[in-house]
Amino acid sequence: MLKSRILVLGGCGQLGTELVAHLRAQYGAKKVIVSDIKEADDEMMAQGPFEVIDATDYSQIEDVVIQYEITEIYLLAAMLSATGEKFPAKAWQLNMTSLFNVLDLAKDGKIEKVFWPSSIAVFGESTPKNNTPQQTVMEPSTVYGISKLAGERWCEYYHRKYGVDVRSIRYPGLISYKTAPGGGTTDYAVDIFHKALKHDCYVSFLNAQSELPMMYIEDAIRATIAIMNVPRSQIKVHSSYNLAALSFTPEQLAAEIKKHRPDFQISYDPDFRQEIADSWPNSIDDSEARNDWGWEHKFGIEEITEIMLRELGPVYAK
């Protein structure tokens, strides 16, 4: 019997929705408690324990930790890049306060292990664009990236100062058919499939040549569970690991879609998210994650395109 009892904070987002399903399949529904700022849809509410929690409220988290005898917390509550630029103070408050709450619970011995996601948003215009190394210049230009970089340093500090077992990966853009785009700069790579099926055309808010690191959601989930399950001795990076799968541009993704839908057309009307994308890497060197805990991706652009069109197709079928 697995003794882990897991709390997922912010469990109703793009990553959380699918991560929860995998965790419950592995640990059992009753051992994975899901929470968010408001109630989930009926399906998730019926699948297992759910608690409404404001992740910026320490006492709310602590109460649930005690009630369910939680051993691990996955902190997914955050305001993403594009949304964060519209509400910078709120983004900083949510992203940082929630992290301190969880780190403090671990510092005080109330939980054993923490997962906290970072992002390629920690990098900036001065960062090497190609095969961005694990350790490099970081000068993020968004409040989301600033909060993630600060969070990485606090994770490292809590590990070094208090022995907190906190594990983290820098996610690239994530692609999933199960949840709608959530306000990130890389979300064009999800929205484009919906528009292709609905209208056979898409207006991209990034230019044709904006190459960004991307990953299919199942790869991201495997990485997340893998890093939490390896022995503590294998974790060498206590800020956040680079994580990569593939990189492509809107033009390249559109060309792949056209192989399946020859009438599909893409046009370009870059907005404020273009400046964000321009500050991020084209590709990531994740050799340390591959060496330290055996990370490897499975999905390329062809497989991702085929899956997205196949799974979303019935939604738009006439």
Q: Helix, strand or coil for residue 200? A: coil
Q: How far is CA 34 from CA 23, 29, 50, in A?
A: 11, 10, 5
Residue 159 has pLDDT above 50, yes or no: yes
The predicted pLDDT at position 125 comes to 93
Rounded to an integer, what distance in angstroms lies between the CA atom of residue 189 and that of residue 290? 25
Q: How many percent of the chain have pLDDT more than 70?
A: 98
Q: Are 114 and 72 in contact (CB under 8 A)?
A: yes
Q: Which two tokens stand for residue 71?
A: 């051993």
Indicate the pTM of the whole model. 0.94
Rounded to an integer, what distance in angstroms lies between the CA atom of residue 261 and that of residue 29? 39
- Helices 58-68 + 88-107 axis angle, to 10: 40
Rounded to an integer, what distance in angstroms lies between the CA atom of residue 35 and that of residue 20? 10
Residue 42 has pLDDT above 90, yes or no: no
* Residue among 60, 1, 57, 69 nearest 32 (CA): 69
Mean of per-residue pLDDT scores for the chain: 95
Give the range with max mean pLDDT: 83-87, 166-170, 184-188: 166-170
Domain coordinates in residue numbering, the chain: 6-173+216-242, 174-214+246-316
- Residues with a known catalytic role: 144
Rounded to an integer, what distance in angstroms lies between the CA atom of residue 29 and that of residue 43? 13
The predicted pLDDT at position 183 comes to 66
* Residue among 21, 267, 268, 199 nearest 34 (CA): 21
265-276 pLDDT per residue, tens:
999 999 999 999
21-40 pLDDT per residue, tens:
999 999 999 999 999 999 98
Residue 81 has pLDDT above 90, yes or no: no
Q: Are 298 and 219 in contact (CB under 8 A)?
A: yes
Q: Are 144 and 231 in contact (CB under 8 A)?
A: no
Q: Are 282 and 221 in contact (CB under 8 A)?
A: no
Fold assignment, 174-214+246-316: UDP-galactose 4-epimerase; domain 1 (3.90.25)
89-107 pLDDT per residue, tens:
999 999 999 999 999 999 9
Place of tokens 């600060």: 150
Q: 3.40.50.720, 3.40.190.290, 3.30.465.10, 2.60.200.20: which CATH number matches 6-173+216-242?
A: 3.40.50.720
